[in-house]
Structure 1
Amino acid sequence: MKNLDVLAIFARVAEMRSFTQAAESLGIQKGRVSTVVRGLEKEVGATLLHRTTRTVQLTEEGRLFYSRACDLLSEKEELQSMFRDVSTPLRGRLRVDMPAVLAQSVVIPALPALLDAHPELQLELSSSDRYVDLVLEGIDCVVRLGPILDETLIARPLGHLRIINAASPAYLQRFGVPASLDELITQGHRMVHYKRNFGSRHEGWQYPAADGFQSLMLPGAIVVNSVAAYHDAGLAGLGLIQGGYSSLLPYIKRGELVEILPHLRPQPLTASFVVAHRRSLSKRVRAFMDWTEETLRPYFD
C-alpha cells in the first residue's frame, strides 16, 4: 500500500456496499475503484469484499481489515489537523445515527446553526429505532438511549434524558386527571402499550418507589412497536403514554398533550454517544459529540 488513498477507496466501498456509489461519492471512475480494490486484495493476500450482482459485503477478513484501515485513516486526519486552529471549520463527511424522535424533535431543528458554522461539513443523518452495526454500515458515531449491551463499543455517557407522563386533553376530559397511583385504577385509566417486539412482555406503567422504580400494569386497547406510533396513539386519546420530555415538549406547548403526575415520573433514559473504537474519535466526531451534549443538555435530569 503505497499511500492511504487506497485504504480510503476500500473503506468507502465497504461503507456504501457499492462500487458505483463509492466511485460517485469520491468523484472517480468505477473502473478505478474496482482496480484499486482488486490490487489491495492481491497485496494483502485475502478476499476483503464478497461481491454479488446486488450488493457488496465485507468478508470476515474484510471486517478486520476495515477496522484497522479506519484507524490509519483517522490517524492521518489527526496528523493533518494537529496544528490547525481549534476554531477552524470542520470539513468532510460525518455519518451519524440516532433515534428518530430525538433527531426530529431536538437535533434537526438545531442543525442550521452547526452547519452555518461549518459549511464544508457533510452530515449524513440516519434516524431509526434499530441498533445499527457501526462498522458494517460505515457509521462514524451513534446516539443511543438505554444501556449499551455491546462491550466492544466505546460509549461516552451524555446524561439522563427526562421521561414524563402525558395524555391528550380529550382523554383527560373523558377519564379525569389522575393525582395519584390509586386514581390511575379508580378512575379506570388505560395506557398505550409499547413493545419493540410484539412477542415480548410489556412492563406496565413505571413510577418511582422507595427502592427504585416499579411498574403498575394498566389495561390498554392498543399495542404499538414504534415510538412514532406510540406518540400518535397518545395524541389520538387512546391512552396514557410515558415518553421523552424532548420529544413530547412540542405537543405540550401546542396544547395537544398535557403532562400528568409530574411527581411520579419514570426512570430517566441514559443517553450515550457511541463509536466503534477510540481511534474513531476524529476531530469531526469529537466536535459533534460536544455539540450534541450541549444541544441535549436542557432535556437532561
Structure 2
Amino acid sequence: MDRLETMRLYARIVELGSFTAAANDLDLPRATVTNAIKKLEARLGAQLLRRTTRCQSVTRDGHAYYGHCVRLLADLDEVEADFREAAVVPKGCLRINMPGTLARHLVIPGLPEFCARYPQIKLDIGTSDRFVDLLREGVDCVLRVGELPDSGLVGRRVALLQQVTVASAGYVRRRGLPHTLADLQQGHEAVSWVSPTTRRPEPSLDFMVRRRRREVHLPARVSVSGTDAYLGCCEAGLGIAQFPRYRVADLLARGALQELFPDSPPPALPVHVLYASQRQMPARLRVFVDWLVELMAKQR
C-alpha cells in the first residue's frame, strides 16, 4: 500500500471511527488495515490512534495528521479532476438519507428515470429525520425539510413545497367550518407537531396573510413527532393540521380531508440537500443534486 492509499485509509478510519468500518468501506481485509496503520505510525514516529479493547480515539498528533491528509487528498482530487475528460460517466455507490415521507411520495417514484440516466450509480437510501453525521456514517448527502440549522454543512435548496391547512370531514361536522382565522379561536383544536430534532412542540398554525406570516395558537390535546402519526391524528378528527400539499393530495381528492383557508396558506417549506464541504464534489453526487432540482421542479 503506497503512501497516498495509506493516507486515504487513515482518513476513513478517523471519519468512520473504527478499523473495521474503514476496512468494510474500502473493501480491505482487517489485517491489512491494522498493518498499514502500524507501519504509518512507525514511519512518522508518532502514535496517531489510541486503541483499547473497548474503544479507539484519535491522539493530538493524529488530529494534526488527519488535517494534513484531508487537505492533500482534496488537492490531489482537484488536480486529477482538472485532467479528466468532461464526459466522465458518474459511477459508484451514493449513500443518501432523507425523511421517509419525502422518499416515498416524491423521490422514489422518480428514481427509475435517474437509474436509467446513470446506470453505473448504485443508491443506498436511508430514511429518517434524525441528525446524521455524514463523515462518521459514510453518508454522501441528506435531504431535509424546513429551515436549516447551523450544521457546518453545505446546503443547496432544491424545492419549495406548497403547504395546506386541513381538517377531517368528521372534525368539520363536529366543530363547524371556520371561515376566518378569527373563527379558529371559537372552540377549535390543533394536532401539535413535535420537532424530531429539537423535541419541542410547535402548537401554533402558520398562515401567510397579504405576504405576512401570522401565527395562530390553538389548544392541542395530542402531540406527535412522527409524520405518519401526525396525519393519522388529523384523519381521526383530533384537530387541524398543516402538511405539504403532496402529502395529502389523495385525501383531499377523496374528501377525507378538507382544505381550510386556501387564500391564506401556510408558508412554503424549503427542501435542502446537505453535503460535507469539499473542494471537488464527486460526479455521482453532483448529478444526483442536479437531478433532484429537476424532479422537485415538476412538483410545483
Aligned to 1:103: 103
Question: TM-score when scaled to structure 2?
Answer: 0.82
| Displacement of 1:47 | 5.0
Residues 190 and 219 in structure 1, CA contact (< 8 A), matched pair in contact too: yes
The answer to whether structure 1 residue 192 and structure 2 residue 194 are counterparts is: no
The answer to whether structure 1 residue 155 and structure 2 residue 155 are counterparts is: yes
| Displacement of 1:18 | 4.1
Aligned to 1:33: 33
CA distance in 2 between partners of 1:74 and 1:236 (Å): 53
Residues 189 and 218 in structure 1, CA contact (< 8 A), matched pair in contact too: yes
CA distance in 1 between partners of 2:143 and 2:43 (Å): 37
CA distance in 2 between partners of 1:61 and 1:251 (Å): 58
CA distance in 1 between partners of 2:184 and 2:51 (Å): 57
Residues 13 and 19 in structure 1, CA contact (< 8 A), matched pair in contact too: yes
Aligned to 1:268: 268
AA in 2 matched with 1:133: D
| Displacement of 1:204 | 0.6
CA distance in 2 between partners of 1:89 and 1:57 (Å): 38
1:203-237 residue CA offsets vs partner (Å, 9 max, x unmatched): 41111234721211112220112333212222322
Residues 163 and 242 in structure 1, CA contact (< 8 A), matched pair in contact too: yes
| Residue range with higher mean Cα deviation, 194-203 or 99-108 | 194-203
CA distance in 1 between partners of 2:76 and 2:164 (Å): 45
CA distance in 2 between partners of 1:265 and 1:2 (Å): 60
Aligned to 2:245: 245
Equivalent position SS for 2:138: coil
CA distance in 1 between partners of 2:50 and 2:245 (Å): 44
| Displacement of 1:104 | 2.1
AA in 2 matched with 1:175: R
Equivalent position SS for 2:270: strand
| Displacement of 1:153 | 2.5
Number of matched pairs: 298
| Displacement of 1:183 | 2.9
1:52-88 residue CA offsets vs partner (Å, 9 max, x unmatched): 55665666765675566456555655626854453x5
Unaligned runs of 5+ in 1: none
AA in 1 matched with 2:191: V
Residues 161 and 269 in structure 2, CA contact (< 8 A), matched pair in contact too: yes
1:233-254 residue CA offsets vs partner (Å, 9 max, x unmatched): 2232221111222333354455
What is the correspondence of 1:53-202 to structure 2 with a 5 Å cutoff?
Answer: 53=53, 69=69, 73=73, 79=80, 82-86=83-87, 88-150=88-150, 152-186=152-186, 188-196=187-195, 200=200, 202=202
| Displacement of 1:279 | 1.8
1:116-167 residue CA offsets vs partner (Å, 9 max, x unmatched): 3323212222221122222333322222233333263222222322222122
| Residue range with higher mean Cα deviation, 275-284 or 50-59 | 50-59
| Displacement of 1:96 | 1.9
Equivalent position SS for 1:279: coil
Tell me which structure has the larger Cα radius of gyration. Answer: 2
Residues 74 and 278 in structure 2, CA contact (< 8 A), matched pair in contact too: no
Aligned alpha-carbon RMSD (Å): 3.3
AA in 2 matched with 1:110: G
CA distance in 2 between partners of 1:177 and 1:45 (Å): 76
Equivalent position SS for 1:267: coil
Question: TM-score when scaled to structure 1?
Answer: 0.81
* Identity level (%): 32
| Residue range with higher mean Cα deviation, 287-296 or 36-45 | 36-45
Residues 162 and 299 in structure 1, CA contact (< 8 A), matched pair in contact too: no
| Residue range with higher mean Cα deviation, 60-69 or 93-102 | 60-69
CA distance in 2 between partners of 1:141 and 1:129 (Å): 13
Aligned to 1:290: 290
CA distance in 1 between partners of 2:179 and 2:264 (Å): 10
Distance 1:149 1:8, change over 3 A: same
Residues 14 and 138 in structure 1, CA contact (< 8 A), matched pair in contact too: no
CA distance in 2 between partners of 1:239 and 1:96 (Å): 34
CA distance in 1 between partners of 2:139 and 2:71 (Å): 14
| Residue range with higher mean Cα deviation, 214-223 or 34-43 | 34-43
Distance 1:57 1:99, change over 3 A: farther
| Residue range with higher mean Cα deviation, 285-294 or 205-214 | 205-214
AA in 2 matched with 1:273: V
